[in-house]
Amino acid sequence: MIQIGVIGYGYWGPHIVRNFQGLEGCEVTVVCDKSTEALRRVKKAFPSLQVTSDIPEALAATNVDAMAIVTPVWTHFELAKAALENGKHVLVEKPFTSTADQAEELIDLAEKKKLQIMVDHTFLFTGAVKKIRQLIDEGTLGKLYYYDSTRVNLGLFQHDVNVVWDLAPHDLAIMNHLIKDKPEAVVATGEKHLNAHEDIAFITVYFQNNIIAHINVNWLSPVKVRTTLIGGEKSMVVWNDLEADEKVKVYDKGVQITSREGVYELLVSYRSGDMWAPKVEQTEALKAECGYFIDCIKNSTTPFNDGRSGLKVVKMLEAANQSIRERGRIVQI
C-alpha cells in the first residue's frame, strides 16, 4: 500500500486527493494546506484523513511514501527538494519549477536518492492525446509539418506568472510528447494590458526537419477555444478539446507535389478525401496518471513524464519569456 501525502488543497488538490483515494494499492494519509478553510473542506469530504497546516510536519510524515505537490510554481522547488530529501517520491504540479536550474537540481537529487519524480502534465493521459500519439506512431500522418494550438479564454488571472507560464505548459508538454524531432529555438511575442504580466502571447517553436509549432495563449478572449491543428504529409488532425464527442478528426486531405525540372515547375495537387473521427477513450486522465504514478513507484520505473520531461518544458518557458522580453528575438534551446 503506497501512502500519499498532498501539499496544497486549492483548485486542483481535491482532484488529486479524490483520485488517489479511489485507486487500489494506495491511500492518501496526510493533506497539508496553510488555509484552515481548505483543511475544513478536506475534513468534510474525507473525515478519516490527517490534516495539517504545518508544511515541515507534512514533509516529514512517516506515513507518506510519495508527496503530491499541488501549490504555486514558485514553491515547487523548495517543497519537492525537502520531500526528496525526506526520502519521498514526488508528483509535482506543472510547470515543474520556476527555472531550469531548479529542475536539474531536483533531477540529480532524485537520482541520487533513487526516487521517482513525475510532473503532472495531465493532458498526456487524455484519450485525445493518446489517440493522436497513436496515429503519429502508426504513420497515419506521415512526416509532420506543423503543430498549431489556440488556447484562449477569459481569465484565470494569476498574479505570480504570465499567461505563458499559466497556459502554454499544456501545449509544450503535448508537442514534446508528439513530435520526435528536437526543438531548436523559440520566438515569442506578447503584451501586457492589465498588470505586470503578459496576458496575451504567441510562441513559435522551431523543431528540426522544418517542423514548426505555434501556441496562441490569451487570458482576454471572450470565448474559450481549445483547438489544435496538426499537419502532416499524409493526413492532418484537428483536435477540438471542447467537443463532447468527436474531439479528434483525421482528414485525408493534403497536398502532393511532383517536381519536374526545377523549383518553379513543381506540380501541386490537392487531395480531398474522407474525414474520420476515431473513438477516443473517455476515462478521466488524472485517474490514469495517478495509477501510473503508483505503478512507477512499485516497479521502480521512470515515468515518461519524469523530471527530465518537465525540465524540457521549463526550458521552453524560460526561452519564451526571454524572447518576449526582447520582443521576438530568437532564443536557442
**Residues interacting with a copy of itself, by CB under 8 A?**
47, 145-146, 148, 150, 152, 154-155, 157, 159, 185, 187, 189-196, 200, 202, 204, 206, 210-212, 214, 216, 218-224, 229, 231, 235-238, 242, 244-246, 251, 253-255, 257, 263-264, 266, 268, 270, 272-279, 323, 327-330
CA 17 – CA 27 distance, rounded (Å): 9
For the bound state, the minimum distance from the C-beta of residue 250 to a copy of itself, rounded and expressed in Å, comes to 9
Q: By C-alpha distance, which of 97, 59, 98, 67 is closest to 5?
A: 67
Angle at 163 (CA atoms; ends 157, 168), nearest 5 degrees: 130
Nearest CB to a copy of itself, comparing residues 9 and 219: 219
For the bound state, the minimum distance from the C-beta of residue 113 to a copy of itself, rounded and expressed in Å, comes to 36
For the bound state, the minimum distance from the C-beta of residue 201 to a copy of itself, rounded and expressed in Å, comes to 9
Q: CA end-to-end span of the chain, whole Å?
A: 41
Ramachandran area for residue 139 (φ above 0: left; ψ -120 to 50: alpha; else beta): left
For the bound state, the minimum distance from the C-beta of residue 212 to a copy of itself, rounded and expressed in Å, comes to 4
CA 120 – CA 164 distance, rounded (Å): 17
Nearest CB to a copy of itself, comparing residues 112 and 222: 222
For the bound state, the minimum distance from the C-beta of residue 204 to a copy of itself, rounded and expressed in Å, comes to 4
The set of long-range contacts for 197-201, using a CB threshold of 8 Å and a minimum separation of 24, is 197/158, 197/159, 197/161, 197/162, 197/163, 198/162, 198/163, 198/164, 198/324, 199/157, 199/162, 199/163, 200/163, 201/162, 201/163, 201/164, 201/168, 201/320, 201/324
CA 101 – CA 133 distance, rounded (Å): 30
CA 67 – CA 87 distance, rounded (Å): 10
Nearest CB to a copy of itself, comparing residues 232 and 291: 232
Nearest CB to a copy of itself, comparing residues 302 and 328: 328
Nearest CB to a copy of itself, comparing residues 251 and 292: 251
Nearest CB to a copy of itself, comparing residues 150 and 302: 150
For the bound state, the minimum distance from the C-beta of residue 18 to a copy of itself, rounded and expressed in Å, comes to 11
Nearest CB to a copy of itself, comparing residues 121 and 315: 315
Which grid cell is 35? Answer: 488555509
CA 205 – CA 212 distance, rounded (Å): 6
Which grid cell is 208? Answer: 528540426
Nearest CB to a copy of itself, comparing residues 1 and 154: 154
For the bound state, the minimum distance from the C-beta of residue 296 to a copy of itself, rounded and expressed in Å, comes to 27
Nearest CB to a copy of itself, comparing residues 226 and 308: 226
For the bound state, the minimum distance from the C-beta of residue 152 to a copy of itself, rounded and expressed in Å, comes to 7
For the bound state, the minimum distance from the C-beta of residue 168 to a copy of itself, rounded and expressed in Å, comes to 14
HSE-CB at 37 with a 13 A cutoff on CA atoms is 1
Torsions phi, psi of 54, nearest 5?
-95, 105
